[in-house]
């Protein structure tokens, strides 16, 4: 049963419409949420940090851009900095890359998901939210192949359905849920992990 696993991290991919979905997830994670949350969201390359300030204002967790070589810790929501790919290394630290765009984007959800899947194996929860391309679908499949838990936002709940639809078609995720139900599931899984 997926809920019986011991999870170690959550990765989330979001693009167009993803801000609304994240607003239904991040504020509902409690201050003692035991898993780091790592997010690749497609933003304008010159984004000035307003998104971080916006999310931090509604979150009980610390919200920040991920830094090069930073150790990944519970109690934090980490965002890929604008115009950088964010990767998780085997020692559970971050690395940043300006390699070529993937699916015309940097940061790429696939890049984050695939590196995190290799680092956390079955200890990873992957979530694909609203968006207008198929970034994240192959990465979610990698998480599933590694034994992690996979979730896609219900396309009918997403502002832009293409990204979760692609994830559903390619990765056949364990759960297809509205954004508010995703937050409830994460809290439930974290409680089982602590129990």
CA-to-CA dists, residue 82 to 9, 11, 25, 41, angstroms: 21, 17, 21, 9
**Burial category of 84 from C-beta neighbours within 10 Å (exposed 0-12, middle 13-18, buried 19 and up):** buried
Taking the C-alpha atoms of residue 104 and residue 51, their distance in angstroms, rounded to an integer, is 21
What total number of domains does the chain contain?
A: 1
Range of the domain at 49: 2-194
What CATH code is carried by the domain that includes residue 24?
Answer: 3.40.50.180
pTM for the whole thing?
0.94
132 CB-near residues (< 8 Å, 6+ apart): 15, 16, 17, 160, 162, 163
Q: What is the pLDDT of residue 44?
A: 58
The pLDDT confidence band at residue 47, using thresholds 50, 70 and 90, is: low
Least confident of 18-32, 38-52, 62-76: 38-52
The yes-or-no answer on residue 42 being catalytic is yes
Question: Has 15 been annotated as catalytic?
Answer: yes
59 in active site: no
Q: Rounded mean pLDDT of 160-187?
A: 97
The per-residue pLDDT for range 77-100, each reduced to its tens digit, is 999 998 999 999 999 999 999 888
CA distances for 22 relative to 35, 77, 159, 164, 183, angstroms: 16, 11, 12, 14, 9
From 42, 110, 115, 161, active-site residue: 42
Task: State the pLDDT at residue 165.
Answer: 98
Query: Active site residue: 110, 135, 157, 174, which one?
Result: 135
pLDDT at 4: 52
State what percent of residues in the chain have pLDDT above 90: 78
Q: Which residue has the higher pLDDT, 124 or 2?
A: 124
pLDDT in tens, 50-65: 778 878 888 999 999 9
| Predicted confidence (pLDDT) per residue in 116-166, tens digit | 999 999 999 999 999 999 999 999 999 999 999 999 999 999 999 999 999
Q: Which residue in the list 15, 59, 130, 166 is annotated as catalytic?
A: 15
């Amino acid at each position: 049963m997926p809920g019986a696993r011991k999870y170690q991290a959550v990765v989330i991919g979001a693009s167009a419409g993803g801000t609304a979905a994240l607003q239904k997830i991040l504020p509902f994670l409690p201050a003692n949420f035991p898993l780091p949350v790592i997010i690749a969201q497609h933003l304008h390359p010159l984004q000035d940090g307003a998104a971080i300030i916006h999310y931090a204002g509604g979150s009980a967790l610390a919200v920040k851009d991920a830094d090069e070589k930073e150790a990944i810790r519970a109690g934090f929501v980490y965002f890929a900095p604008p115009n950088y790919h964010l990767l998780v290394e085997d020692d559970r630290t971050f690395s940043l890359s300006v390699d070529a765009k993937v699916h015309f984007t940097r940061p790429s959800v696939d890049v984050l998901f695939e590196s995190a899947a290799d680092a956390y194996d079955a200890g990873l929860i992957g979530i694909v939210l609203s968006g207008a391309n198929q970034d994240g679908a192959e990465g979610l499949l990698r998480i599933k192949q590694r034994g992690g838990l996979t979730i896609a936002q219900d396309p009918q709940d997403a502002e832009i359905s293409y990204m979760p639809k692609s994830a559903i078609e390619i990765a056949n995720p364990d759960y297809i849920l509205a954004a508010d139900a995703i937050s409830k599931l994460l809290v439930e899984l974290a409680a089982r992990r602590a129990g």
